[in-house]
Copies of this chain bind each other. A is one copy, B any other.
């Protein structure tokens, strides 16, 4: 029977605490208290704080891949799949306003700490970039697919930063509407362009 191991519980709690309080500001004691184990027991599972960070990043990579796979399977059209990504801003708006984007803020923090795991954290962002690039490519935007994926990611990261700075929920809603409008505009352009080539 695969009950949740202590190791997995540690990773799960550390993931949440790193997101909500930051990596540097989260202590072993915080994680141990959240899991309900002693500090000493901690070192049976992880030799150093950096090892937990590695495990948390690996967990986030796995969960991101699973989420992207779900969106891929559930979305009938590339547009629907891209909308799944955009609507993360709505679904997670309360947490985003309080703590920002989990990926963006981790990358920013590790950059300042000059932490070795910085590159691995950026790979989570890379998963989104590559998946979104695939969606725009499926829409026939071969040349501009990656640039548009990067634009959408950039816009989302900006919304996360600004909404947490100003604590404005309506801002997120307005921006999501604007992003959706942008998406439909470039899809319209693409459709017209293909029509012109065919005729």
Contact = CB atoms under 8 A, between A and B. Distances in A.
Interface of A: 20-22, 24-25, 98-100, 104-105, 107-109, 111-113, 121-122, 125-126, 147, 150-151, 153-159, 161-162, 164-167, 171, 174-175, 178
Contacts of A157: 157-158, 161-162
Nearest to A124: B165
Given A107-B165, A153-B162, A112 B99 contact: yes
Contacts of A158: 153-159, 161
Contacts of A104: 108, 161, 165
7 contacts: A22-B113, A100-B108, A108-B164, A108-B165, A125-B162, A147-B174, A157-B158
Contacts of A166: 122, 125-126
A17 B102 CA distance: 24
Contacts of A155: 154-155, 158
B113 A165 contact: no
Copies in the complex: 2
Contacts of A165: 104, 107-108, 111, 121-122, 125
A151 B22 CA distance: 27
B25 A111 contact: no
A164 to B, nearest CB: 5
Contact of A112 (B25, B121, B175, B178): B25
Contact of A109 (B109, B147, B159, B174): B109
Given A24-B25, A154-B175, 19 more contacts: A20-B112, A21-B112, A22-B113, A24-B24, A107-B161, A107-B165, A108-B108, A108-B165, A109-B109, A111-B165, A122-B165, A122-B166, A125-B165, A125-B166, A126-B166, A153-B162, A157-B157, A157-B158, A157-B162
